A and B are shown apart, each in its own frame.
Chain A
Amino acid sequence: GEDVEQSLFLSVREGDSSVINCTYTDSSSTYLYWYKQEPGAGLQLLTYIFSNMDMKQDQRLTVLLNKKDKHLSLRIADTQTGDSAIYFCAEIKGSQGNLIFGKGTKLSVKP
């Protein structure tokens, strides 16, 4: 496909793990990113992964990359109510290095 695809909604209970999935478009993308956006705020870079890696762990966050399927996932361990936000997957595309975003996954964390 031509778009970065993400499911639009995810609801989990506090303390559970959250897994947000993304399918990107360009197999030559060098970096893939996860951004977090809280209501009314800008985008906060959460983590990124270089295309020659298949996993990256950063505290509660684990990023998995399957280059063959162009599939990226973000796992948040021990999800807290403060993790409620919209999570955007993004890839670098083209010679200009433009970021192409998915539509975002809205994560709701129930107490």
Chain B
Amino acid sequence: DIVMTQTPLSSPVTLGQPASISCRSSQSLVHSNGNTYLNWLQQRPGQPPRLLIYEISNRFSGVPDRFSGSGAGTEFTLKISRVEAEDVGIYYCMQATQFPRTFGQGTRLEIK
């Protein structure tokens, strides 16, 4: 199984400041079709997960442009350019390149 490791596990951030979350996979996430199925999900308190970024760097419909994703192979990053109050929650990276799908442990974003 592919192990997904996120750092940090907790990120206190001042409103308006940037935030960054890293995700490392135990093996390459490049699929045989050439795509890399690395997603970033946001889970606000009491809500189901919501797709933010798919295939490393593509923002899903309705996601603010302050969210961006980057990376390749086994190293990936989610960045929030200016954190807003509504960004509080837990962020997960996940891989859908192979079964079983696997998730990072989650990173809790909180406001200082």
Same complex: no
